[in-house]
Amino acid sequence: MDTWQIIHIPDKPQVPPDQQPTVNVYAAVIELKLANSLVRRLNQIAPLENLRHVKRVQKKCLEGKTQLSVILCLACENETESNSIPQDVQELINSYQLSSYITKVSKYAPLSKEEWEEQCKLWPTSYHPPTYNIDGITGFSKEDAEFIFGFMKYTIELMKSSDSSVSILSFHHVVFSCLY
């Protein structure tokens, strides 16, 4: 009797923790008392939509003093600094007399504690361990898995009887495809 198995295929290819892709962002050192109001305003005018895993503020201890830096916005590649900062952000920089600089942050959310530790060397990120069973599948019960296997077997039988191919589709991609 054949043994069926459901395996998890990650959304992004795995890379060594120290070779994760990065993106450039504009950041600025800020005074501690300005952090709350600046972060609130920046979240309104320049939300970090594709960088939700990246923390907006970085806290460092330099020579016994706390230094805060805030991400202002994404930096456009291959452009000069003044041309790629949105007008609203530039006005905020001017009104608080901030000095912006470009730094790198991790492009993707960490999938492991090791990735998270490497990412935090660049800029702090959030890490939420996966809620699915890391050893294999994405949380299917035994009954669910048997139900899925039944459909897979049925698909293969349909394919064998039709002399062509059969595919099972989910909303975004092919889940199972078979040529005979």
CATH fold group of domain 17-122 = Alpha-Beta Plaits (3.30.70)
- Give per-residue pLDDT as tens, 5-38: 776 666 666 778 888 999 999 999 999 999 999 9
pTM metric for this prediction: 0.67
- Note the pLDDT tens digit of each residue in 128-157: 887 655 455 456 777 877 888 888 888 778
Percent of all residues in the chain with a pLDDT value above 90, rounded to a whole number: 52
Q: Taking the domains of the chain in order of start, what are their residue ranges?
A: 17-122, 142-179
42 has a pLDDT exceeding 70: yes
* 85 pLDDT higher than 60: yes
Chain-centroid distance, C-alpha 68: 23
